[in-house]
Structure 1
Amino acid sequence: MLESLIQFDHQLFFAINKGLSNPFFDWIMPYLRNRYFWMPLYLFLVVFLARNYGKWGWICLLFIVLTFGLCDFFSASIVKPAFERLRPCNDISIKDEMILRVGCGSGFSFPSTHATNHFGIAMFLVGTFYSRWKWIAPLAFLWAFSICLAQVYVGVHFPVDVTTGAILGCLIGYLTSTIFLTIKFEKQWKSGS
């Protein structure tokens, strides 16, 4: 069973890493996985939340940072050391067949911390704002998905790594969003507003 899953994971990896290969993806995918590329989005979130929600906007930003921290900690410090799965670009059984488009890195692969962090933030935003803005769900999850696809395309993660990271991130994001909304509505209920 595990062997079949690994074989399927490798096949899907090559379908993305080599099968989707084209000049546009070769150019854009390394940017999509780079945190500096998304700085304008992060800055927009800070300004938007602080300006439109005042104190609760700042508390929401604090919860986004908490979500990121929890995702990063669980993925990088708990799960990765427990599994110690090599990155595709460090796996001697396939690294000569794949295309590496960025530096490989020395850390482990499972789960993808990029996927955990970004799906955690996406899920937090969806859980917090979906009742007001339905469009946030496709946008937030498309953003996180594009980062995960880029991680596989450039050769630093397997599909199972990003899928597991996405699930872990969604669980953490759902938890922090639920806590945030519980605190917010409890305070509003007690204050009568």
Structure 2
Amino acid sequence: MIENILNKDKELLIFLNNLGTEQWDPFWLAITNQFHWSPLFILIFYLVIKSFGWKRGGFMIVSMILLVAFSDQFTNLIKNSVQRLRPNNDPEIKPFLRHLINPQSYSFTSGHATTSTFFSVFVILLFKQKYKLIYLILLFPLIFAYSRLYLGVHYPIDITVGIIIGVTFANGYYYLFKKVDKILFT
């Protein structure tokens, strides 16, 4: 059964990856680069300081930085434990993929999907009472994660599990954050 699921995962990746065209390649290469999302992060940091002030906002920003560091290390722990080859390194499907980058680390789970979802859901939980449009930030992890399929460096299961972990961690981290925030700022 698991073998069948993994085969369907590979088939879905090949299908999605082959929807790409050279015309769109530069766009998706830019999307997958975390640096190009800097304006979004700057906007979020601005909203944090504007909404919560320097002291409490600074604590929130440090919390977000810790969130990203934790998420990154947790993802690396899983990748190094599971050791699933990335599609671009898997000799079974590599010839059927369009791949524009060739990362050598492992595939399961997607750090892009986990961390961007973790960050985005945490931000939504922080701001849902203040800004109605904050839910638009969910476009960030969806587009960011899809870029990994487009580029042929993750399987759909890697992305899906990364999103699930991101949502789970964001809710748990927010619960912990609220406890600490209450102690420090009330």
TM-score computed with the length of structure 2 as normaliser: 0.92
Aligned pairs (5 A) from 1:80-159? 80-101=79-100, 103-137=101-135, 139-159=136-156
The answer on 1:173 being equivalent to 2:170 is yes
- Offset at 1:175? 1.5
Distance 1:47 1:128, change over 3 A: closer
Q: Secondary structure at the match of 2:95?
A: coil
Q: Distance in 1 between matches of 2:102 and 2:61?
A: 32
What's the CA shift string for 1:133-189, capped at 9, x where partnerless? 23222x12111110000011011111111111111111111112122223334555x
- Residue in structure 1 matched with residue 47 of structure 2 by the alignment: 48
Give the AA of the match of 1:98. L
Q: Distance in 2 between matches of 1:146 and 1:58?
A: 28
Instruction: From the superposition, tell whether residues 8 and 49 of structure 1 become closer, same or farther in structure 2 (CA, over 3 Å).
Output: same
Q: Deviations over 1:12-39 (max 9, x none)?
A: 1012100x22355323111111011111
TM-score w.r.t. the length of structure 1 is 0.89
Matched-pair contact (CA < 8 Å) for 1:70–1:172: no
- The structure 1 residue matched to 2:180, chosen from 154, 158, 183, is 183
Q: Aligned partners of 2:42 and 2:73: how far apart in 1? A: 23
What are the equivalent positions in structure 2 for 1:20-39 lying under 5 Å apart?
20-39=19-38
Letter in 2 for 1:95: K
Residue ranges of structure 1 left out of the alignment (5+ in a row) = none
Q: CA deviation at 1:44?
A: 2.1
Q: Is residue 161 from structure 1 mapped to residue 153 from structure 2 by the alignment?
A: no
Map Cα deviations across residues 59-93 of structure 1 (whole Å, 9 max, x no partner): 111111111111111111x2111110000000000
- Separation of aligned partners in 1, 2:38 and 2:184: 32
Aligned residues: 185
| In structure 1, C-alpha distance between the alignment counterparts of 2:173 and 2:142, rounded to whole Å | 20
RMSD of aligned Cα (Å): 1.6
C-alpha distance in structure 2 between counterparts of 1:24 and 1:166, whole Å: 28
